[in-house]
Structures are given as C-alpha cells and as structure tokens.
Amino acid sequence: MAFKENFLWGGATAANQIEGAYLEDGKGLSVADIVTGGSHENPRIISPSMDEKYFYPSRKSIDFYHHYKEDIALFAEMGFKAYRFSISWARIYPNGDDEKPNEKGLEFYDNVFKELEKYNIEPVVTISHSDIPLNIAKKYHGWNNKEVINLYVKYAKTLFERYSAYVTYWIPFNEINDIFLAMSSLGQGAFIEENECTFAQQKDDPNARFNALNNMFIASAKAVKIGHEIDSKFKFGTMICHITRYPRTCHPDDVLSVFKNDLFFNNTCSDVMLKGEYPFYTLKEFEIRGIKLALSEEGKQILREGVCDYYTFSYYQSISESTLKFDEQTSGNIMGGI
C-alpha cells in the first residue's frame, strides 16, 4: 500500500534547537538561551546570570540562521515534502511586549519561506515551541499572567499577516500537554528566579500550572479565530506529546489507573482545542486535586469560537504503569519502556 500523492512526508525542528545567532540582528534573549547543556550525570541548569563557565547549546545550535539554504537543500535531497519548524518569538518581538516587531527577524523567515518554496516544500509553522522571550518570564511570570495572552495574540497576528502567502498549516503550541507531565517548564508557566537551579529544583504550584495552561488555551483560541479571519485557507492544529500507556498487570486497579491517566494526560488538551470545552473527566480530576480553574463565561465562549482544525501528535515511547509494588531487582521498574 503506497502513500497518497499529496502525503506530506518531512521532518521537524525547533528554533531554539537549531537557529543559533541568539543575539544577532536584534533578537532578544529567550528562556532557552539561559539553559545550560547537561547529561545524565550533570543535570541542565537554569542560569539567569549567563555564567560563562557554562555551555549554552541554544546560543549556537547548528547555526541554521546562517546555513538555512544548505540545510533546506539537504531536505529537498532527502525528498521532504513538508518541513515543520518553529518561529522564535524573541526574534520577532525581542522582549515579547515591544510596540513594533523586529524587521530583521521577519526578513529572516521571509528568506526561509522563499527557500522552501524554491524546493516545493510545504511549511508547517509552530508559533510557540516551548520557548518564550526571557523578558516575559521575568516581567510577567510567563503564562501565569493573563496579560501574556494578548502579547501572544499580537505576535501570532504579525506572523499571519506577514506570511499568509507562504503558510497554510499552523500549530499554536508545541506539545502543549507537557505542562501536565512536568513542573511549570520554562516555555510554559514558570517565571525566572535570580538564583541558579536545575529543572528538578523548580518550585511547582499545580494550581498556577494548570491556570497557566488555561491561559495558553485562551491564547490559542484567540489566535485561531483571528487567523481564520485573516485568511480562510489557514488550518490550525493541536500538537500533543502522546505517551502510550499500558497496564503493567491485569489487576483492575492498574487497568483503571492507565485509563484515567491516558484520558487526563493525552486527551485533555486535544479535547479543549478541538471541541472547545474542558471534558468532564478533566474537571472532575481538577476537583479531586483541588485545582481552582479561573475560567470565566467569556473564556468559555472564546474556547468554543477558536477550535483547531486538525490533530497532530509526537510519539516517543510506550510505558507500562502499575499501582502495585514490585521488586525492582527481579521485575524492573514500575514504570518502564515497552
């Protein structure tokens, strides 16, 4: 069975992982620019002081900023029909709340789109890929602040108007459900403290975390609605980090636990973004966990009016889960890859 003629086979990248040129042509600092490299023995450090003793991978990355033509030519040689990549918010609005966008940043992506067009490669654009301008994290405490909603919408509207001739497919947020799986990550809900810390040392406030996620839902819905008004050809998609779960045993508690976790972690965000409302099981889970969601009637209306058009997901692994205790020497970890 062959793929259809219009099947979009390709690859994907994130701006903070490939572009480099972290302060070039007017780009502002992003939260990724203050995160050090690391390993399984030495955890990555969030270092606001930008201590020169550390290595900061996003500063140089693979230098796509200066080598995009060569890289896109290689994509074409591989037979890519689509290329999903993100735009750096800090390259367009260096501080996130600037009055006007950075023209040099806009021109860079103009050139990227033209190069993709040259090889007939369809762009799929992620508006925010787990990275925000550092100023937004420091000044506004990231997505915990409702003011960031309109800053994001302004940024998204700039992209829609500038690149409507090149782009059909947009993704408002990369792996938006990551905020379920981890603490308030840098690209989502956290603000930057002055002291260095590892990701594991970040303070977690579940109530603030899920309200930050709600602000992201509102921002996405507003952007989707405006995008559809700007160009009717635009299509917007979710992007879910889908971790497939299996019960470790046939014990009913394991089966029920996996079922509930699958709904909560994998399906909540896509349900909100595609159906325009929180599913009943998520609201019940919030109630159990004591989460007080600040969602007004106006907010509910915004979610209904700004639903996405398609579903996308990333898949890394499957895991098994159990509510039971096992002897790790003989049975392996309770949560392990399959």
CATH architecture for residues 10-337: Alpha-Beta Barrel (3.20)
- Domain boundaries along the sequence of the chain: 10-337
Res. 335: pLDDT tops 80: no
CB atoms within 10 A of CB 145: 16
Mean of pLDDT values over 29-41:
91
- What is the reported pLDDT for 40? 85
Residue 81 Cα distances to 67, 72, 86, 256, 320, angstroms: 20, 11, 17, 41, 35
Res. 336: pLDDT tops 50: no
- Dihedral sign for Cα atoms in the order 106, 111, 112, 116: positive
CA distance 132 to 32: 8
- Dihedral sign for Cα atoms in the order 133, 134, 135, 138: positive
Question: Minimal CA–CA distance to 15: which of 126, 149, 165, 99?
Answer: 126
Question: Minimal CA–CA distance to 175: which of 276, 314, 281?
Answer: 314
CA distance 90 to 93: 5
Q: Residues 256-288: pLDDT tens digits?
A: 999 988 889 889 999 999 999 999 999 999 999
Mean of pLDDT values over 52-77:
95
For the ranges 7-16, 269-278, 313-322, which has the lowest average pLDDT? 313-322
Per the confidence metrics, is the pTM higher than 0.85?
yes
Res. 2: pLDDT tops 50: yes
Res. 33: pLDDT tops 50: yes
CA distance 224 to 306: 5
DSSP 59-78: HHTT-HHHHHHHHHHHHHHH
- What is the reported pLDDT for 167? 98
Mean of pLDDT values over 32-53:
87
Res. 328: pLDDT tops 80: no
Res. 334: pLDDT tops 90: no
Higher pLDDT, 254 or 329: 254
Res. 327: pLDDT tops 70: no
- What is the reported pLDDT for 85? 98
Q: Residues 166-205: pLDDT tens digits?
A: 999 999 999 999 876 654 455 455 556 667 887 777 777 8
> How large a percentage of the chain has pLDDT more than 70?
92
Q: With 0-12 CB in 10 A as exposed, 13-18 as middle and 19+ as buried, what is 15?
A: buried
Res. 206: pLDDT tops 90: no
Q: Residues 212-240: pLDDT tens digits?
A: 999 999 999 999 999 999 999 999 999 99
103-118 and 147-163 helices cross at what angle (nearest 10)?
Answer: 50
- What is the reported pLDDT for 45? 86
How does residue 326 score in pLDDT terms, banded at 50, 70 and 90?
low
Q: Residues 129-166: pLDDT tens digits?
A: 989 999 999 899 899 999 999 999 999 999 999 999 99
Mean pLDDT of the chain: 90
> How large a percentage of the chain has pLDDT more than 90?
72
For the ranges 33-42, 66-75, 188-197, 312-321, which has the lowest average pLDDT? 188-197
Mean of pLDDT values over 288-308:
96
Mean of pLDDT values over 72-93:
97
